Amino acid sequence: MLSDKRSKLNDEFNDACKKLEAKILEKKKPFLHQRKQIIAGEETVFGDLISKFDTSHAALGQKVAAIVKPAAEKEEKEEEKEPTDVSYLKGKAGIPDFWVRAIKANRLIFDQVRERDEPIIENLTHVETETQENEKTKNMVLTLRMSFKPNNDFFSNEALSVSLEYESEEQVKAIRGTNIEWLEGKDPTKKKIKKKQKHKKTGETRTVVKTVDADSFFNIFKDRAVPVEGACDSEEENDIRDKMDETQQTVEDFHDLLVPDALEYYLGLNDDFDIMGLDGEGAESGDDDDDDDDEDGDKKGKKKSGGEDGK
């Protein structure tokens, strides 16, 4: 009975946390909307904010200069971090490559971007996430929305979205994504491979071209659901669950890391892999598909690290 009462208090605590999180997220919306307008070049008048920034920046500079480090630390050579060069933005409206650079600086997300995906990502104009409750099931739903330049060379959609519906705090029940209207020959989630076939009667060999699935960041927008028990074999079920787990991790990385700290990633201030004890060195690289006859001539797998140029 005591354990049951304690469990109910845990439930009460979790409910209170969810309500507090929703309240804070609601308060953040105006700031995120203003950030969106600045990035898009829709807001260009900042009143006295620039003078206030200059004053506070100078004051912080004096405080940093006054910090006296212990002798032991002084002896150690510290690698100075070069400030991000934003001089290229002069004369431009907004920050056209804000989200592209932010994604490239987040190694967890950029590792999912293949070489064939990169030209498409260059058309990205806005990223946002949202949490809400499914009215029917009462399950929590996390949605990622990505907006792209209209009339781009890859698909006719101007926005793509993917929603995760959770059946528990960590387990995703279903994934619903946008049906991407790819232009002819521009779909990175498919590739053509050459296969040799031998005729059973004549014994003659011929080469045929088949279209197969390919690794791509844009696979996260495909609809998926936990298979009904007995509907498929264990290998197929494991494959479906693995793909759902990958999509879940990517969407949650956008929600927890990239969207709230996008400016820090854009400026190169977040070393997420360093925090995890990973620097990208020695990481395996290469496509899981070992077919040597890939017509795309594109065998790039996951990148070793992020950063503006992937170095």
pLDDT at 29: 93
Q: Provide the terminal-to-terminal Cα distance of the chain, rounded to the nearest Å.
A: 58
pLDDT at 67: 77
- In this prediction, residue 279 has a pLDDT band, given cuts at 50, 70 and 90, of very low
Contact 158, 180 (CB under 8 A): no
- Could you tell me if 151 and 239 lie in one domain? yes
Q: Note down the domain range covering 5.
A: 1-40
Contact 192, 289 (CB under 8 A): no
Residue 237 lies in a domain: yes
Q: Inform me whether the pLDDT recorded for 163 exceeds 70.
A: yes
- Could you tell me if 123 and 219 lie in one domain? yes
Residue 65 lies in a domain: no
Q: Inform me whether the pLDDT recorded for 225 exceeds 70.
A: yes
In the predicted model, what is the mean pLDDT of residues 2-29? 92
Is the sign of the CA dihedral 112, 113, 115, 116 positive or negative? positive
- Could you tell me if 21 and 102 lie in one domain? no
- Number of domains the chain contains: 2
Mean pLDDT, all residues of the chain: 83
Residue 238 lies in a domain: yes
In the predicted model, what is the mean pLDDT of residues 266-276? 68
In the predicted model, what is the mean pLDDT of residues 115-138? 93
The Cα–Cα gap between 279 and 253 comes to 18
The Cα–Cα gap between 31 and 128 comes to 13
- In this prediction, residue 285 has a pLDDT band, given cuts at 50, 70 and 90, of very low
CATH code assigned at 262 = 3.30.1120.90
- Could you tell me if 277 and 164 lie in one domain? yes
Residue 80 lies in a domain: no
